[in-house]
Copies of this chain bind each other. A is one copy, B any other.
Amino acid sequence: MQLRVPGPTPCPPKVLESMSKQMVNHRGKEFQELIKNITAKLQTIFQTKNDVLILTGAGTGAMEAAIVNFLSPGDKVLSASTGVFGNRFADIAQTFGADVTRLKFDWGKPVDPDEVRRALKADSKIKAVLVTHNETSTGVTSDLAAVSAVVKEFDKLIIVDAISGLSSIDLQVDNWKCDVVISGSQKGWMVPPGLSMVSVSEKAWKAHAEAKMPRYYWDLTKAKTFLAKGQTPWTPGITIFYALGVSLDMILAEGLSNVFARHARIAKMARDGVRSMGLAILPVDDKCASNTVTAVKADGKFDVAKLRQILRDEYKVVIAGGQGDLTDKIFRIGHLGWVEDKDIKEVLDAIKKALPKAAV
């Protein structure tokens, strides 16, 4: 089966094999070495000297951690949303009592830094800006460097959901002054779902010290305290740590810039491929088109559900449909993590053959 959804992504055989290793004591020496080793490598890939903490839970758990650790009920927050996951980030903040201003961009468009500036100018009480680097639901990557530069004009906190982009698309946490950045293991990291990561700047730690939203499981003070002794506060997802230990070495051996270039090349191949079939992508231009997921419009030409079923049953290719308002309107090809040119060629060939059978 050629699994090409935007996460979980396939894992390399040696990553999968690493999980057959027997359990170890998570308060013992082996785990200490493992977590310290992994944390240092994560910092390299996050391009940061900030603390990077590993949480056992899905990406949405890390989104919750990124909210409840840095905000208090009643805090004004600006959400810059480009799709389902941007809206989710805002929903979480609202659930925990933040006063959220929702700046929504048309699906297919990236965050406009000028609109962020206008919104921050309009309300000086805004404390933090929530932004999605790579919006999985629309296949759009926003210009995070530019957005962050605007947020820093106002000296506000920037909290970034980079779940489906980090490790596949350049994100310079320190250079771009991103305060809180999260990712999830089942994306470009090439390991199974179950772990998420969060980086925390000094400015964010200061906000954390004042933040009053209730937190226990996701409390990053606990995570930081335990990391100092090579542990996690709660029992960690040990097998995913084993897997990450292997995959991080693969990423670093390939070289971060080569990994980014591979994703860019394959994403272009995906876009060129669907266009050659007369289809159009959802992102408004190639500049904002994601290098990890390509969203393709149906435009009433074919039945998305039928196409996906034919691809699955006849060609052993699994792609994703649309989410939320985009259900039945787009399909999405995931091309992140363990992916080579030949994989996307196979997917494109299958789509080309299946399309006529799914025509409406």
Residues of chain A at the chain B interface (Cβ within 8 Å): 1, 3, 5, 7-11, 16-17, 19-28, 56-61, 63-64, 91-92, 95-97, 184, 186, 192-194, 213-217, 233-240, 312, 318, 320
Contact = CB atoms under 8 A, between A and B. Distances in A.
How many copies, total? 2
Nearest to A17: B20
B216 A60 contact: yes
Contacts of A1: 22, 24
Contact of A20 (B19, B59, B217): B19
A150 B199 CA distance: 47
Contacts of A235: 7-8, 58-60, 184, 186, 193
Contacts of A215: 95
A84 B192 CA distance: 32
Contacts of A7: 235
Contacts of A16: 19-22
A251 B318 CA distance: 33
Nearest to A30: B1
Contacts of A63: 217
10 contacts: A7-B235, A8-B23, A23-B192, A57-B57, A58-B236, A58-B237, A60-B235, A184-B235, A192-B237, A193-B235
A95 B216 contact: yes
Given A26-B193, A193-B26, A239 B3 contact: no
B19 A239 contact: yes
Contacts of A3: 22-25
A19 to B, nearest CB: 4
A30 B333 CA distance: 19
Of the candidates A7, A24, A28, A235, the one having the most CB atoms from chain B within 10 angstroms of its own CB is A235
B236 A239 contact: no
A215 B216 CA distance: 12
A1 B29 CA distance: 13
Nearest to A24: B3
Contact of A194 (B24, B56, B216): B56
Contact of A318 (B17, B28, B312): B28
